[in-house]
Amino acid sequence: MKLLTLLEQTGHSILNQEELGSAEITGIDANSAKIKPGCLFVAISGFERDGHDYIQDAINKGAAAVVGEKDLTDLPVPYVRVANSRDTLANLAAHFYDYPSRKHIMIGITGTNGKTTTSFMLRHILQQAGYSCALFGTVHNVINGQAYVSKNTTPDPLELQRLLAESRDDAVIMEVSSHGLSQKRLEGIEFDVGLFTNLAHEHLDYHNTIEEYFEVKQQLFSKLKQGGKAIISTHDEWGQKLAGLLKERNIQVSTFGRSPMDDLVFTSENDVHCSNFEVTENGEKFRFSMSIPGLHNIYNASMAYLTGRKIGIDSAKLIEGFRTFKGIPGRFEMYSHQKDATAVIDYAHTADAFEYILKTARDCGAKRIFHVFGFRGDRDESKRTEMMEISSRMSDCSILTFDDLNGVEQNEMIDELKAYLQSSGKEADMLMPDRTLAIQKAWELAEAGDWILVTGKGSEKYKDQYELPAGSDQETFRLLLNEKETVAT
C-alpha cells in the first residue's frame, strides 16, 4: 500500500517529504525489533520506553517511513508527525487491513466482572444457532476455530486488526477492557452490539477514580456502527446511568434487570445451585437451565440471551444452547474432593465478585467455606480492605496467600498481608505465603459438605515459583486430587 493512501484518514504533518509519493508500505509495527524492509515504524511514547529513541534502529532494519509525535527533520526516510502516535497506530492498522470489523457481526463486552463468562456463553449459544464465532478475551483468542494464547484481554491494535482480517467467522465476540479503551487499541473498530455488565471497584491505580473508570468504559458505545445496539445490565447504579446517557444519544438500548421497565426482566431463581431461573420478555416468561451455579452466572446468561435475541435468534434455540453449556476454564470451575467436599477455582478478584462467589457457595449448601486468595503486587491497593472484610465475613476461614508479586519483595508483601489479616479479627483466618501450600492446607482441612474457593487467578499460569510442582491453581488441584487418590488406593 502506498504511504499516501495509508495516511488518507490520519490528521498529520509531513516534516520530511523525501520519496513520499513513491513510498510503498508492506507492514506496520511499533516495535523496532520486528521491523522488516518496507515497514512503517510508528514511534510511541510508552509508559516505560519512548519509541522515538528507536527510530534509527527501525531505519537500519529497513523501515520505509516513520510516524511519530516529535519534530524531526533530518531522517533519511519520510517522517510523518501526528498528535497521538498510539491513536494513529490503531487507525493505520484498521486502514492497512481494510477495516475488517465491517465484515463481521461485532460484539463487544465491557464491565468489571462477567466479561469472560458472558463471552463464552454467547459464543456457545451462537454456535448452537449456526453461527461461526471468533473470540477475543482473557482465557484465549479463537479465530476460525483455532485457539491462540491471549496476552491481554484486548489485544494490541496491530494484532487485533490482523486477526480480524484473517477471520472468516460470522461473528466476533470481544472482551473490551478499560486498558484497551484508554490505550486506543480499539480505534478503527466498529461494533454491532455493545454490552455493559457492571462496574465495581477495580483498576483505580490506573484510572484514579471510579468516575474516570466509568467514563472510559462507556467509550465502547461511541464505537457502535450505524444502527448499533447497546445491551445494559441495570443491576447497579452505573448500568442505570449508562442506559440513560445512551438513550439521550438516541442509541438503541435494551436493558436487563429486575425492574418492570427493563426489556428482559429477571423473575425468579428456582434453584440457584443448578441455575434454573425465569425471565420475562415482552410479557412472555421463559425458563432456563444451566449446569453452572450462581446468581452472577444467571446475570451473565441473561445478558448473552438478550444479545442473541437482538441479533435475531429464536428464543427456543438460545434456551437450548444454555442447557448444553458446560462452563469456562477458571471461572467457577468445580473439582471433586476425596472427602466429598467441593473445590472451586474462580477468577474473582474484586469485592463485588467475592460477594457473589461466596454467596453462591453458601446458597449451594456449604457447611464451611475455606477461601484462599491473595493481592497482586503493585496493583490497586484501595480495594484490598473491602475484599478482606467480605472474605472474613462470608467465609469460615480466609487463607491469605501470594498472588503475582509483580516485582514486590516477598517480605514486603508478607508484611502487607499480615496487616490485613490482623484487621479481620477472626482467629480462624491465617497467612500462608506459598500459594500451593495454602491451597493444600484448605484441601486438608475440608470435610464432607465443605467448600474450598480459590480465587484471583482462574486459569492463569503462576508467575512465581512455589513449593508444590504446579504451574497454576488448576494444576495444584489436580496434583492434590491425584495424590489423595493414590494414597486411598
Phi-psi label, residue 447: left if phi above 0, alpha if psi -120 to 50, beta otherwise: beta
Phi-psi label, residue 130: left if phi above 0, alpha if psi -120 to 50, beta otherwise: left
Is residue 117 a known part of a binding site? Answer: yes
In 90-157, at which residue ranges do the beta strands (DSSP E only) sit? 105-110, 133-136, 140-143, 146-149
Distance CA 193, CA 453 (A): 34
Please tell me what DSSP assigns to residue 105. Answer: E
How many CB atoms neighbour CB 136 within 10 A? Answer: 28
Is residue 228 a known part of a binding site? Answer: no
> 3-class DSSP state for residue 171?
strand
How many CB atoms neighbour CB 312 within 10 A? Answer: 8
Q: Report CA 294 to chain centroid distance, whole Å.
A: 19
CB contact at 8 A, 387 and 351 = yes
> 3-class DSSP state for residue 346?
strand
CB contact at 8 A, 454 and 442 = yes
Distance CA 106, CA 142 (A): 14
Can you name the residues that pair with 67 across neighbouring β-strands? 42, 80
State the Cα angle at 434 between 340 and 395, rounded to 5°.
Answer: 45
Is residue 255 a known part of a binding site? Answer: no
Non-local (6+) Cβ contacts of 226 within 8 A are none
Is residue 474 a known part of a binding site? Answer: no
Phi, psi of 87 (to 5 degrees): -60, -45
End-to-end CA distance of the chain: 67
Phi, psi of 247 (to 5 degrees): -65, -35
Distance CA 429, CA 425 (A): 8
Q: Which amino acid is at 18?
A: E
Can you name the residues that pair with 13 across neighbouring β-strands? 81
Is residue 116 a known part of a binding site? Answer: yes
Is residue 177 a known part of a binding site? Answer: yes
Q: Which pairing describes strands 397-402 and 264-271: parallel, antiparallel, or unpaired?
A: unpaired
Is residue 110 a known part of a binding site? Answer: no
CB contact at 8 A, 429 and 398 = yes
Please tell me what DSSP assigns to residue 271. Answer: E
Is residue 152 a known part of a binding site? Answer: yes
Is residue 153 a known part of a binding site? Answer: yes
Please tell me what DSSP assigns to residue 103. Answer: G
Distance CA 154, CA 455 (A): 22
Is residue 111 a known part of a binding site? Answer: yes
> In Å, how far are 84, 230, 276 from 287, measured between CA atoms?
50, 24, 7
Is residue 398 a known part of a binding site? Answer: no
Phi-psi label, residue 260: left if phi above 0, alpha if psi -120 to 50, beta otherwise: alpha
Summarize the annotated binding site for ATP as residue ranges: 111-117
Annotated binding site: 32, 111-117, 152-154, 177, 183, 185
